[in-house]
Structure 1
Amino acid sequence: MLDNYLREQDGVITLVQAQQTGLNRQAVYRRVRSGHWLRCSPGVFFVDDRPFTDRARIRAAVWGCGPRATASGMAAAWWQEITKYPPDTVEVTVPKVCDPPKRYGIRTRRRDLDPADCVTRQSLRVTALPLTVLEAAARRGGGMRIVDAALQRHLLELRDLWAAHLRNKGRHGSPAARSLLRAADSGAHSEAERLLVGLLRQAGITGWKANQRLGRWEIDALFRSPKIAIEVDGLAFHTDPEAFQRDRVKQNDLALMGYQILRFTWLDLTEYADRVLAEITFALSHRAAGAASSRTGAAH
């Protein structure tokens, strides 16, 4: 039983768990005095026969803040594989009545979480996915890419994020999360269009018109002469199967009319604006070169 705990918990074990395996308090402290076990915090130990991994670090940090402590923010996001890199500082949410001592590498937030906002993953208590996404997106290093990734992977839907936000009004990062949700809701597409238009104007790219009819479709930004159609997707695009299918039909129709289609997401426009402009510029120059070559061939 002890081996199972250590194997499944990254070498981290609590005093209560050790006692459940048959070890008494004296046996535990003998292991600490001999150097076989390291004391991470009161009642939390690491068996020093393996690397102290990031998983062990986060697990020990959370358990060291008490039995009702919950990994949150970027720590919860990494634990649930929403982000690639573990945070240097482990954020832990504890009940308001708790006041754990400050320790290096750990940031505690005192807040009573709704049961709907807590789950257990690999024996560790973490914030549920919707709240995790909202809080991580509002943290440094998070941002819109966190929300976008969760929606693209169909891990949750916008209504799940709104529900978690409304249950946790007033928390740290709440205003930033609300702004993200408003942008991601029904007006997301219009806001994405405004972002695209602003980028085109700032870059001095001309020859386009916004919201133009082409056949039975309306195009977000249309270059008629080089035959380039630019379409933008708001965050809600990821969770609306009907819109996704309609856009596939639209894209095929435009291609049959001889148009090159460039599609950009909300994330592209907010996080990778330089790449968006580079792709548009390349498409324009490539089409212009192709048109010139065709004219030369026709003259000969």
Structure 2
Amino acid sequence: MDVLSRKLPLDALLARLADEQYGVVARRQLTAAGAGRGAIEARIRRGLLIRLHRGVYAVGHVRLTRDGRWMGGVLAAGAGAVLSHRDAANLHGLGQFGGTRIEVTAPGDARGDERLRVFARRAVAHEEVTAVERIPVTTVARTLVDLGDLLDHERLLRTLAAAERAQRFDLAATERALARSATRPGPAHARLSAALAEHARRGAQLTREQLELLLRRLVRTHGLPPAELNADVAGEEVDACWRAAGVIVETDGWEFHRGRGAFQRDRAKSNRLTLLGWTVLRFTHYDVRYRPDHVAAAIGRALRQR
């Protein structure tokens, strides 16, 4: 609570907080700004403050947006609380998860209610907390760990894929969050470990635009000669080529889902180009996104050998 808030009349303070917090306020915020118990109770009786959770009120009406319900849940769980689990996944755009209660994580002994589920006494590292649209929330990496307690293997895989499509999946951050969860009770560590391994086996799935951007970045960052992207070579479209050196790079997405026909066509294409004298290197989308050093080193060796 800033100095300016302490000088505001109570109704002006309510308006300000409601505007900043999607229509909800915490009693402790009003008390910290100097509002007396009587003034607060009077506004409760008049219907200006409507109880949402213990110590948290909607201002003027309860037709809150989802952001308002999320903020109310975080405020109700006390200092240091953050939106987490399925509601954090919803806020990050990782899927559509239902539920009758807002899910938050709090460092103390906060209690939930019929609208609020609190995962209490769970440590949240500083790097695992962020804010989205002013709502304190676990990072995508920590959210994925927490979801391991609640989701089965296939739903966890779909959530990883959604995070990747939204370009919000940070493998290194997720692995750090996973390592911190190694000793915590529950299935989260084992489930997410298995899902990450399966996700790596299947490979990432990039759009053409994402793949082109990452290939350009890889070439530039590692000092490789410029490549032709989406180039025509002997009537075949290839992802990247170094025509003078006779080197081609082809990439694969989720082969697990692509089917035998696509697999056979890709191999026939590679064989034809090889017989024409081209060096064809194949990588997965996962390699391009998460192992660029490995990809660049292989390309560099091929270019030097030609």
TM-score by length of 1: 0.61
CA contact (8 A) 1:152 1:238 kept: no
CA contact (8 A) 2:89 2:95 kept: yes
1:243-289, Cα deviation, whole Å (9 max, x unpaired): 999xxxxxxxxxxxxxxxxxxxxxxxxxxxxxxxxxxxxxxxxxxxx
Alignment of 1:1-300 (within 5 A): 1-49=13-61, 51-84=63-96, 87-95=99-107, 98-110=108-120, 111-136=122-147, 139-140=150-151, 142-169=155-182, 170=184, 172=186, 173-185=188-200, 187-189=201-203, 193=255, 195-196=256-257, 213-216=270-273, 235=286, 238-239=289-290
Number of aligned positions between the proteins: 224
1:206-226, Cα deviation, whole Å (9 max, x unpaired): x95996652346xxxxxxxxx
Aligned-partner Cα distance in 1 for 2:185–2:83: 15
CA contact (8 A) 2:70 2:135 kept: no
Change in 2 beyond 3 A, CA 1:124/1:26: farther
Q: Percent identity?
A: 19
Change in 2 beyond 3 A, CA 1:107/1:41: closer
CA contact (8 A) 2:102 2:117 kept: yes
Aligned-partner Cα distance in 2 for 1:62–1:180: 29
Please give the secondary structure, in 2, of the residue aligned with 1:163.
Answer: helix
Q: CA RMSD in A?
A: 3.8
Deviation (angstroms), 1:88 = 3.0
Deviation (angstroms), 1:14 = 0.9
Change in 2 beyond 3 A, CA 1:138/1:192: farther
Gaps of 5+ in 2: 1-12, 204-251, 275-281, 297-306
Structure 2 residue identity aligned to 1:48: G
CA contact (8 A) 2:145 2:181 kept: no
Aligned-partner Cα distance in 1 for 2:84–2:118: 9
Aligned-partner Cα distance in 1 for 2:102–2:62: 21
Gaps of 5+ in 1: 218-230, 246-300
CA contact (8 A) 1:72 1:135 kept: yes
1:100-135, Cα deviation, whole Å (9 max, x unpaired): 334113322231111111123344321122112343
Deviation (angstroms), 1:179 = 0.9
Aligned-partner Cα distance in 2 for 1:139–1:232: 33
Deviation (angstroms), 1:41 = 2.6
CA contact (8 A) 2:43 2:49 kept: yes
Structure 2 residue identity aligned to 1:214: N
CA contact (8 A) 2:156 2:192 kept: no
Structure 2 residue identity aligned to 1:174: H
CA contact (8 A) 1:70 1:126 kept: yes
CA contact (8 A) 1:184 1:236 kept: no
Change in 2 beyond 3 A, CA 1:20/1:36: same
Deviation (angstroms), 1:20 = 4.6
Aligned-partner Cα distance in 2 for 1:132–1:6: 27
